[in-house]
Structure 1
Amino acid sequence: MGLLTNLKDSISKVTDRLFSDSEPKRIGIYGPPNAGKTTLANRIAIDWAGDTVGPESHIPHETRRARRKENVTIERNSQTVTIDVVDTPGVTTKVDYKEFLDHDMEKEDAVRRSREATEGVAEAMHWLREDVDGVIYVLDSTADPFTQVNTMLIGIIESRELPVLIFANKTDLEGSNVQRVANAFPQHETVPLSALEGNNMDEVYDKIAEYFG
């Protein structure tokens, strides 16, 4: 009798998993170019899935297509959340090929890269309007957060009523000003971190589990 009961319980659990609507939530990592989005995405993926999402670079617009790491399960304080991490291209109002020339790139390559980056911005906007369930918004805490792009993107996120966490990244650098980031968007919680150095990642994961779980 006990064996039969255990078997029924096992079948019930499998059935619940198969027919539940608890699909992984698609969490888009957004922000301006060179804010450290891919560095953060890779940090999350390595810590919880043992793999990276994509290459990192100091050159703007290294990420020119959205990249996705599926089924990343984060366990924090008895909370478990499974997400698909979507690393999106940096959003800007204009991509100028001349900015790539400063990185010893030939003009032909710079023009091609700027075209790809522009297409990537359009793709990132499509994901934001249609395909993400929540947003991690990454800002460089050494830079001015009061920009047209940041205001626009936060406005779109709010209009979709998406849960959003703002991460003030690069706290390891001189000139970091987390409070300036927090003051720019006081309606949302700001979490300081250094994705490169791995500083404050415990709080980062606590907040991800809390907001998106």
Structure 2
Amino acid sequence: MGWVVKLKKRFSFILKWFFKKDKMKIGIYGPPNAGKTTLANRILRDWTGDIMGSASDVPHETRRARLREGVRIEVNGKSLNIDIVDTPGLATKIDFHEFLKYGMDEEEAKRRAKEATEGVIEAIKWLDDLDGVLLVMDSSEDPFTQVNVTIIGNIEARGLPLLIVANKIDLPNASPARIKSAFPQHTVVPISALKGLNIDNLYKVMAEKFS
């Protein structure tokens, strides 16, 4: 049976090489305020001089997916051409009361909650059109949440290459090791998208993972 396994692996490699894309569509996913837009801005600033949009402390500020095409990353002789999709924050429950904490009146809070719910649905739909995922987690928080487990299950079910980004390592209570322990089956790269810490290593791993 060993030769069957080897043959399957060889055939899989040939198919991957034959159908290799010139450009990969990479989605940036994660719960609200994990740093998705900050990471998107960091990547775009480093490689295009532009940004995706403004980041905010208000949860679900990104209410619609944003696409930036034609980003070229070059690391150690490897070139990676990607389209970046910055998606709305994922949540299993969205309560309008959380928006009231940010000074919104009830009508505005309910509207924002509705838009946030629609954004989550849109983000999940985008998975069917992606070639890989950067899953951003706040390394100062418990990673073993229903949101993280659910999205990883969705990504694995689709067979998409997944790279977990342990963000906010600049915070004093950050622990990327907790994320590695929670999801040992996946590659985890600790960074600070805000400060740019270890960002070059992220680009290196991205070039290896998605090319």
TM-score (normalizing by structure 1): 0.88
Distance in 2 separating the partners of 1:63 and 1:42: 13
Distance in 2 separating the partners of 1:108 and 1:50: 38
Could you list the runs of 5+ residues in structure 1 that have no partner in the other structure? 1-19
Distance in 2 separating the partners of 1:22 and 1:94: 36
2:182 corresponds to 1:198: no
SS at match of 1:162: coil
Larger CA deviation: 68-77 vs 104-113: 104-113
Distance in 2 separating the partners of 1:59 and 1:24: 33
SS at match of 1:81: strand
SS at match of 2:156: helix
1:164 aligned to which of 162, 165, 172: 162
Write the letter of the residue equivalent to 2:87.
T
1:97-135 C-alpha deviation (Å, 9 max, x unpaired)? 11011111121111111110000000000001x111100
Distance in 2 separating the partners of 1:39 and 1:52: 9
| Residue in 2 that maps onto 1:27 | 26
Write the letter of the residue equivalent to 2:46.
D
Write the letter of the residue equivalent to 2:91.
T
Write the letter of the residue equivalent to 1:51.
D
2:62 corresponds to 1:63: yes
Distance in 2 separating the partners of 1:21 and 1:42: 27
2:145 corresponds to 1:147: yes
1:140-194 C-alpha deviation (Å, 9 max, x unpaired)? 0011111111111101111111111101000011210110011110001110000
CA positional deviation for 1:55: 1.5
SS at match of 1:149: helix
1:33-55 C-alpha deviation (Å, 9 max, x unpaired)? 11000000010011111111121
Distance in 1 separating the partners of 2:54 and 2:64: 12
Write the letter of the residue equivalent to 2:196.
G
CA positional deviation for 1:23: 3.9
2:72 corresponds to 1:85: no
Distance in 1 separating the partners of 2:160 and 2:71: 20
Distance in 2 separating the partners of 1:26 and 1:55: 21
Distance in 2 separating the partners of 1:57 and 1:185: 28
TM-score (normalizing by structure 2): 0.89
SS at match of 2:137: strand
| Residue in 1 that maps onto 2:12 | none
Identity value in percent = 58
2:174 corresponds to 1:176: yes
Write the letter of the residue equivalent to 2:153.
G
Distance in 2 separating the partners of 1:110 and 1:48: 36
| Residue in 1 that maps onto 2:111 | 112
Write the letter of the residue equivalent to 1:141.
S
Distance in 1 separating the partners of 2:126 and 2:101: 30
Q: RMSD of the TM alignment (CA)?
A: 1.1
SS at match of 1:197: coil
Find the structure with the greater CA-based Rg: 1
SS at match of 2:53: coil
Write the letter of the residue equivalent to 2:183.
F
